[in-house]
Amino acid sequence: MATINDNYLKLPGSYLFAEIARRVAAFKEANPDADIIRLGIGDVTQPLPPACIEAMHKAVDEMANADTFRGYGPEQGYSFLTEAIIEHNYKARGIEIGTDEIFISDGSKSDCGNIQEIFGEDNKVAITDPVYPVYLDTNVMAGRTGTLNEDGHFEGVTYLPCDASNNFAPELPQERVDMIYLCCPNNPTGTTLSREELTKWVNYAKENESVILFDAAYAAYITEEDVPRSIYEIEGAKDVAIEFRSFSKTAGFTGTRCGYTIIPKTVKGRAKDGSLVEFNKLWNRRHTTKFNGTAYIVQRGAAAIYTEEGQKQVKETIAYYMENARIIREGLQAAGIEAYGGVNAPYIWLKTPNDMPSWDFFDKLLTEVNIVGTPGAGFGPCGEGYFRLTAFGNRENTVRAVERIKNKLHF
């Protein structure tokens, strides 16, 4: 009989957002009239920028004509998109990235999840706690961890606790690690790492021959000057860091799907025979073997955000969500609830009143005021006693949700 990948059995029953969806569906079935406001999964609500729509319509028309039709494209992405990204997101900030150091994909969740395939099985992984579950779960699936302990931690993983006592900024690990996942601006805490803090990480990675897997999916939400938009703003990072970016939260592509990964050729790992190998080469091999490129129409839409109109429209939508973030953060604070994030990120991370366990708070919020959020404990044991709300709702629902929390929720 075929055997299974037993590593999957180490994982808790379901993926965090699948579990939330299940609980909300059950509540809705039992309470069909409940007016539920969803501020749980970080899914956008505003439509795609008109510049993207226009570009995609045009691309659809091209597909209707034999002279302009496109079949398979380059797996790494069309140059009209890679060049626009490099120009706007890197060159403009003084960073040199080659067109063969960027890989367009169907979103950064896939890339963050798949990247571990090009690392050795016995690599030691460090993640923050709390953490976006994809980094951890995919390493569990790959067999890079032991089993789940009673305290909610996997054996063999280096956890970097982040809570209010360290301003949600992870400290360097005590032991040597190989792969370090950093998410900045952070999902779920909404906090960021300063230039100085990131420099510490880059130096650690250099000294320890580690690789930083830097998830910058929310980079477009940064408002403060001292927060790097890209890890490559830090000297030496091009030798030790892989960066993930996404069009999902930047331009409303959660359903349209497009993201990209930067792997500078200078980032290297050691083969069993001791030789140094470029991760770029391995990812290119993987990408061309397992992926046939992001849809042409989608890439045209993505490239349109770099036009003058596109930039203006994207900024307007981001400002809209960030105003939601302000409304939530200030509303919670006015209700006497400690709230973090929401300044450089579309997430607000709140301390549950009276130290209520996160899932209890989830149930209370859902049943008493019909609001869906995400329990902090779902992101790791250090998230216990915290709760995440997203600013991606529409304005009306965001305002209504804050009013409900302020006026109808009692402790």
Binding site for ligand MLT (CB under 6 A): 41-43, 109, 132, 187
Among 351, 362, 355, 2, smallest CA distance to 190 is for: 351
> How far from 353 is each of 67, 163, 350, 385, CA to CA, in Å?
63, 16, 9, 8
> What SS3 class is residue 371?
strand
Closer residue to ligand MLT, CB minimum distance, 48 or 59: 48
Cα separation, 406 vs 408, whole angstroms: 6
Closer residue to ligand MLT, CB minimum distance, 43 or 330: 43
Smallest gap from residue 252 Cβ to ligand MLT (A): 13
Closer residue to ligand MLT, CB minimum distance, 190 or 301: 190
Smallest gap from residue 45 Cβ to ligand MLT (A): 12
Residue 97 burial (CB < 10 Å; 0-12/13-18/19+)? buried
Show the DSSP H helices in 165-307 as ranges. Answer: 195-208, 248-251, 279-290, 296-303
Smallest gap from residue 143 Cβ to ligand MLT (A): 23
Closer residue to ligand MLT, CB minimum distance, 113 or 269: 113
Smallest gap from residue 102 Cβ to ligand MLT (A): 20
Per the CB < 8 A criterion, the answer to whether 266 and 239 are in contact is yes
Closer residue to ligand MLT, CB minimum distance, 15 or 27: 15
Closer residue to ligand MLT, CB minimum distance, 109 or 144: 109
What angle do the packed helices 16-30 and 358-369 form, to 10 degrees?
30
Smallest gap from residue 104 Cβ to ligand MLT (A): 17
Smallest gap from residue 253 Cβ to ligand MLT (A): 11
For ligand MLT, the nearest residue by Cβ is 42
Identity of the residue numbered 202 = V
Residue 48: enclosing H or E segment and its boundaries?
A: none
